[in-house]
Structure 1
Amino acid sequence: MHDNQPRTITPDDLPEVITCYLTAHRAHETATAVATFTEDATVIDDGNTYQGTAAIERWLDRSATKFTYSIHLTGTQQTDTAHYIATHHLEGNFPGGTIDRRYQFMLRDDLIEHLAIEP
């Protein structure tokens, strides 16, 4: 995909569309979060792939109701103008209780084209 090394940036340096998605996701505002994705976007989370905004909306609704958790942004990186990483620490009533996740974003036309959520 790219061979540039990610460099640390401040959260304020994240593109507005990523900040909007993260804020909406934390607030469980599904419609606002879905609006940040391209129509043909892909999300990969917990080994599952969600293709298109309808599938992403169902994924967001399910993740908002399945567990109660807090999410804290702990780091941000940029690889190039289209690739960003936002690292989060989650605590909640899911198995294990705490986890760190890397949200890897790929942008196209100022929208999220691909999001991979991994350890």
Structure 2
Amino acid sequence: MTHPVLADSPDAVRAYMSLTTGDDHTTAIVSFADAAHVTDDGRDHHGTSEIRKWLDRTSSEYSYTSTPLVARTNGESGRTTVTCRLQGTFPGSPVDLDYRFRLDSAHRISRLEIVVHDPERSLSAG
């Protein structure tokens, strides 16, 4: 079930946010373009093979829950930012993170950057 905050987000963003909180990484990976690029915790992951390994590692390394707080989409730029609160067994919990998505022309995720939420940037981002 999709969280109400994500109701107006693009399909690929909703799929990623709902599927990666479980163990359905196979389905989540189809949301990504073949040459997608993910940056998380200062590390880069290129292509669906590396992204699948990253998803498997992060889900097995820590237990956590993710609650979407707000989603902002700019249809002209193909960018969506989802701010979530993560709580779990990782250092620094709880933390608010921004998931910054960029979609390609096929509406798949071409770029995802996960960073600590910065309220100042959120106010100026569109």
TM-score, L = length of structure 1: 0.89
- SS of equivalent residue, structure 1 residue 26: coil
Q: 2:41 aligns with which of 42, 46, 53?
A: 46
CA distance in 2, matches of 1:117, 1:45: 5
AA of the residue aligned to 1:35: V
AA of the residue aligned to 2:93: G
- Deviation (angstroms), 1:110: 1.1
CA distance in 1, matches of 2:94, 2:82: 17
Unaligned regions of 5+ residues in structure 2, if any?
Answer: 117-126
- Deviation (angstroms), 1:27: 1.3
AA of the residue aligned to 2:20: H
CA distance in 2, matches of 1:79, 1:17: 14
CA distance in 2, matches of 1:90, 1:117: 12
Aligned to 1:107: 103
Aligned to 1:92: 88
Q: 1:116 aligns with which of 113, 116, 123?
A: 113
Q: Which runs of 4+ in 1 moved over 3 A?
A: none
CA distance in 2, matches of 1:100, 1:13: 21
Q: CA RMSD in A?
A: 1.0
Aligned to 1:7: none
Determine which structure has greater relative contact order: mean sequence separation of CA pairs < 8 Å that are 6+ residues apart, divided by chain length: 1
CA distance in 2, matches of 1:63, 1:16: 23
AA of the residue aligned to 2:113: A
Q: 1:35 aligns with which of 30, 38, 52?
A: 30
CA distance in 2, matches of 1:14, 1:79: 10
Unaligned regions of 5+ residues in structure 1, if any?
Answer: 1-9
Aligned to 2:10: 15
CA distance in 2, matches of 1:32, 1:87: 22
CA distance in 1, matches of 2:84, 2:55: 17
TM-score, L = length of structure 2: 0.84
- Deviation (angstroms), 1:11: 2.1
